[in-house]
Amino acid sequence: MLIRRVPSWAIPESHATPERVALNRRLFMAGAAAGAAGLTLAPDAAKAGIFDIFKAKEPPKPDAPDPSAGLYPAKRNELYKLDRDVTPERFNLGYNNFYEFGTDKGDPAQNAGALKTRPWTVKIAGMVETPREVGIDDLLKALPLEERLYRHRCVEAWSMALPWTGIPMKDFVAWAKPLGSAKYVTMKTFLDSDVAPYQASPLYDWPYTEGLTIEEATNELAFLATGAYGKPLAKQMGAPIRLAVPWKYGFKSVKSIVSFEFTDKRPKTLWEAAGPREYGFWANVNPEVSHPRWSQAQERVLGTSERRPTLLYNGYAEQVAGLYRGLEGQKLFM
Ligand code: MTE
């Protein structure tokens, strides 16, 4: 029997994990044992089962010191204030969604050590003046970092508040020089099932893919986080570069990005492809629009026993509501 220790602040998994994920985990485990349900698992995953693969792996070699460590802490931009305390760092280090490394909240902290974040190349592609590839440390030199305090609201109805360090995305977009005809930017996570065995699951369209409109990407709030808590990002948080769009549900904030592609076509995101009735492209926070299986009216503030009313656009309506004028016919809140 599988016995899991659930920390006191964690909601029951039936509430916390999108059903499809829970279902997929069961299918994956069942499939690993029996090749059930027509699943075609990668041979190694089928033999060992996904979590045995993690256990069987040699512990990763320690990383060289992070060459960007000297850039942290960066100066805080005082425009971005919180209405609550910063969540203690240990919660963000130990309670993560990073399905490439497992589907339980503690799995990424245990398994993401296998991810090598140097060298790390970011591709800028599609409708840009000059497609190019840039090493993360050159990108960090090209664009100044700042610290911002942001709320972080997961579609699963938990929230945190944290000090991200990173690059305002509008500076990045200006630097990437998209063509005037580009309407969206598509972002993708690395793809390597040796490092992240869950990517061997055929049940998702890997790599993790997300997108924003150019107007969203150049909104003052859109942020490319490269650090948190005054240090380079921990791997489980999406090192070395991830998105932070605090007015949207957390699943938009794609981790460990390797490519930015500017395009005139709206990208199909991983969650939209996996569960179109529950997860959409826009995913703006709205307390009045329930998830099909739970209410979004309140959120559990991790690290406290508090429940707070959820705010429209997660409290950032002043900065972002204008982005959606004229788009009322779209499913803006899923
Ligand atoms: N990015 C990748 N590549 N893989 C993921 O599974 N999960 C998303 C998002 N970005 C995810 C991802 C979800 S559902 C959330 S809520 C946030 O990351 C969680 O970020 P955190 O672990 O830093 O709180």
Tens-place pLDDT, residues 123-138: 999 999 999 999 999 9
State the architecture of 81-324 in CATH terms: Alpha-Beta Complex (3.90)
Confirm if 153 and 85 have CB atoms less than 8 A apart: no
Q: Where are the alpha helices (DSSP H) in the chain?
A: 13-16, 19-34, 43-48, 50-56, 89-94, 107-111, 136-142, 169-176, 214-217, 270-274, 317-320
Tens-place pLDDT, residues 22-45: 334 443 443 333 332 222 223 344
Tens-place pLDDT, residues 224-269: 999 999 999 999 999 999 999 999 999 999 999 999 999 999 999 9
Confirm if 145 and 137 have CB atoms less than 8 A apart: no
Is 60 exceeded by the pLDDT of residue 180?
A: yes
* Ligand 1: residue whose CA is nearest its atom 13: 251
Residue identified by tokens 């503030």 is 301
* Ligand 1: residue whose CA is nearest its atom 17: 250
Q: How far apart are CA 148 and CA 171, in angstroms?
A: 15
Domain boundaries, the chain: 81-324
Tens-place pLDDT, residues 136-172: 999 999 999 999 999 999 999 999 999 999 999 999 9
Q: How far apart are CA 208 and CA 201, in angstroms?
A: 12
Note the pLDDT of residue 236. 98
Is residue 15 within a helix (H) or strand (E), and if so which, with residue range? helix 13-16
Q: Supply the pTM of this predicted model.
A: 0.87
Pocket test for ligand 1, best of 20, 98, 224, 258 (most atoms within 8 A of CB): 98
Six-digit token pair at 60? 């990763």
Tens-place pLDDT, residues 269-282: 999 999 999 999 99
Lowest mean pLDDT among 6-15, 106-115, 131-140, 143-152: 6-15
Does the beta carbon of 237 sit less than 6 angstroms from any atom of ligand 1?
yes
